Amino acid sequence: MHLTFLGTSAGTPSLQRNVTAIGLTLSHRGDCWLFDCGEATQHQFMRSMLKPGRLQRIFITHLHGDHIFGLPGLLTSRSMGSISEPLTLYGPPGLRAFVETTLSLSGSFVTYPLEVIEIEAGVIFDDGVMKVTAYPLNHVMPCFGFRIEQYDRLGYLNSEKLKADNVPRGPWLQQLKQGKSVTLEDGRTIHGRDYLGPSTPGKKLAIFGDTAPAECGLALAAEVDVMVHEATLESALEEKANMRGHSTTVQTATLARDARARRLIATHFSSRYRFEDMPRLLAECQAIFPATELARDLAVFEI
């Protein structure tokens, strides 16, 4: 898996950064999910390796414009590109009205199956491979963060041990691969766990929406491989940041440390900061949590 940051600015775009959108690529085929869809996200798609036809799900943290104003354009361009694959949107109450109203008033439509799911806190997606849990954050309007967990992958079948135990080939091998028990034609009952190699732990990510320090922050980010969190303002502007429902560099890094995250990627920087300011912001984070990186537009991070 890898993350592609399509926009890393807060509130408004700048000449150096677009507003928020993050792509999560799930497989070698390029299947992806999108987290938020700020203005001009579809332009950023064209500058990246992401493909709209591989987009399966969009998770919206909240309904501020810098997180959703790119959604109508992306949805309709997908139809104009003759993409027929279904798409599911997840987000706070009001998302369905936003989508339906903008499409209706602009005389637009989509030609593929589109489902809009308005969410509450808790598990919002689970297909047995990936699970997504929504957590309420501390912003000036309803806003969520998403914990994305990949289930552990079972180890490979030990063919040498199967051969040594005279286990013949057959449809039961698929069940053994899943760790299940099977009864063979000779009456023996064998257990998949006895023939599987070590499982591979699944990856865990936390992608926060806009937020001041929140009660659920530790649970959302607990021991994740990657934590993505806003760092809208520098530490000296803490009061201003928190009053507007945002966090500072130091607050973000402190959460990553306390949650025992393995890695922090900070994003959503105020447009007041230019590229030459970023080493200073990075230093504030790394003084507390050394494994910090700063996102930039079109940067790709392997997970």
Domain ranges of the chain: 2-119+217-302, 159-194
Is 67 annotated as a binding-site member?
yes
Q: Which CATH class is domain 2-119+217-302?
A: alpha beta
191 marked as part of a ligand binding site:
no
Burial class (CB in 10 A: 0-12, 13-18, 19+), 53: middle
Q: Annotation-wise, does 43 bind a ligand?
A: no
Q: What is the overall mean pLDDT for the chain?
A: 95
* 157/196 Cα distance (integer angstroms): 5
pLDDT in tens, 72-124: 999 999 999 999 999 999 999 999 999 999 999 999 999 999 999 999 999 99
Q: pLDDT (tens digit, 9 = 90+) per residue, 132-168?
A: 999 999 999 999 999 999 998 877 788 888 888 888 8
Could you tell me the two tokens for 293? Answer: 């990186």
Q: What's the pTM value of the predicted model, to 2 decimals?
A: 0.90
Mean pLDDT of 253-272: 98
Which of 31, 36, 66, 127 is catalytic? The answer is: 66
* Annotated catalytic residue 194: no
